[in-house]
Structure 1
Amino acid sequence: MKRYLFIILLALSFSVKAQPNLNHYKYIIVPEKFTFLKQVNQYNLNRITKALFEDMGYTVYFDNPDLPTEVASDRCKALTADLEEKNSMFVTNLTVVLKDCKGNVVLKSKEGKSREKEYQTSYNLALRDAFNSMTDFRYTAGSTPETSAPTPIAATAPAKEVKTEPVPTPASQPATTETKITEAVLYAQPTANGYQLVDATPKIVMTLLKTSVEDCFIANNGSTAGVVLKKSGTWYFEYYKNNILVSDKLPIKF
C-alpha cells in the first residue's frame, strides 16, 4: 500500500513541475484569421480570443502591421495563440494552443466542446469551455521571471470534461463583484443569430448571440466578451476584469 501511495505522490509531483510558467511572457499575439476558417475574425473568434487572454492579464495584439515595434522586432518576447478544430457530426471541439517563437507548444488547453447546431454559437461556447481549463495561467504584473526560458511541454492530455452552466447562480458568484450602471437606453435590433444593441445615435455598441438558455446571450462590445442575462427582470452584462466579476446593468429595450 505504501509503495502505491509513493508512486501516486511521485506522479503528482512530476505533474506539478510540468506546468509552464507563463509569467515569462507578457505579450500574446493572436492571428486575425485562424487557419481552419475562411474569413478574418470569422464567428468573432479572434476578437473573443484576444479579449479572454486580456482578461487573464496579458497584453494582447493582433498579428498585423500595427504590432508594436517592441514585439515585432523580437517575437520571442511573445507567445502566439492558435485554435485547433476537431469537429464531429454533432459536437464542435476547439483547443487553445500557445506556442513560442520557435513553434514549440508551451501550453495547450483542454478540448472545449459545444453541441449547439448554429456555428457562431457553437464555436463561441466551445472556445469559452476551452479557456475554462486555463484559469490558473494568469499573467501577474510585477512578477520576476526566472532567468532561463520555460521548457516547452508536449501537448497535454485533455482534462476531464467538466460540464459548465452558462448562467451562474448567485451562490456560485465570486465574493468580489463590481457593479456598474449604463444610463443610456440601448435598443435591441434582431439579427440572424440574436440581436445588436444600438444607442440613440444609432451606433452598434454590443452584439448578442443566442444560447440554449432563455434570457442568456453571448455578448461582445468590441473590446470585452461576456454574457448578457436577465436577473429579477433586469438585464446585466457580466464579464471578468482583473479576476473580478463585473456586472454592468443595461437598460435594454426589445
Structure 2
Amino acid sequence: MKIKFLLVTLLISVIGFSQSVNDFKAVIIPLKYEFLKTENQYRLATMTKSNLIKAGFTAFYTNEEIPAEYSDRCQLLYVDVKKESGFLVTKLFVEFKDCFGKVVYTSEIGKSKEKDYEVAYKESLDLAFVSINKLHYKYNGKVVATTSKISPSAASVAVQTVAVATTPPVADISDPNLLYAQPTENGYQLIDKTPKVVMKLLKTSRPDSFIAIKDGVQGSLNAKDNQWFFEYYQNDKLVSEKVSVKF
C-alpha cells in the first residue's frame, strides 16, 4: 500500500512540473531545417508558419523583428521539423523546445508516398500537424521560470558579486550573432537563436571576467571598452574574438 502511495505521489509531482505548449506565448521558426540545403527550401518554413497560425499559435521567423511583448526568450517555443528515414516514404515530425533546448512536445509522424519533394513535404507536414491541432493551443498566461534553482549559499555569493559588479557592456540586439546568457550553477551558458549552446562560462572573483570554454577551447571572456572578448592562446599567440552577449 505504501509503495502504491509513493508511486502515485511521484507521478503527481512529475505531472506538476511538466510543461505544456500552452505555457508559451509564441513560436520561433528557423528558416532552414537540418535535412534541407537552403533556407525555406520547398517552402517548408512558410508551410510551418502557416500550420502554426492555423493551430492558434503566434509565430515568428528567426529573422523577423519580434515585438517587445515577446522579448523574453524563455516565454517562447522553438519549433523544429525533423525527417525520419524511410524507404519510398517521406516522414516528418515536429518538435517544440523551450529556451533551454528541452523538448516540450513532439508531434506524431506525418507520412507521404508522393515522389515530388515539395508535395511530399507538404503532405507529411500537414499530417504531422493533425496531432498539434488536437492540442487546441491557447496561451494560459503562465510565467515560465527562466533561471535554475540555486542553493541559499550560491544565492548569497551571487548577491555579493552583484554588489561589487561594474556596469556590463551593453548588448547590440541588432547583431545577428548575438548570444544569450542563461544562468547555470557555476556561471552561464551562452546560446544562439536556434537555440544551441555556443559557450560555457564559469564565474571568477571578477564580475567582468569569466573562464570560457568554446568548442573544446578554454580561454576567458573579458569585458573591455564596453565590449566582451573571448581570449585564448593558439600556437602560443593570444587570440581575441569579439563576442556580443546579452546577460
Q: Which has the higher contact order (CA 8 A, sep 6+)?
A: 1
Greater share of helix:
2
- Higher Rg of the two aligned structures: 2
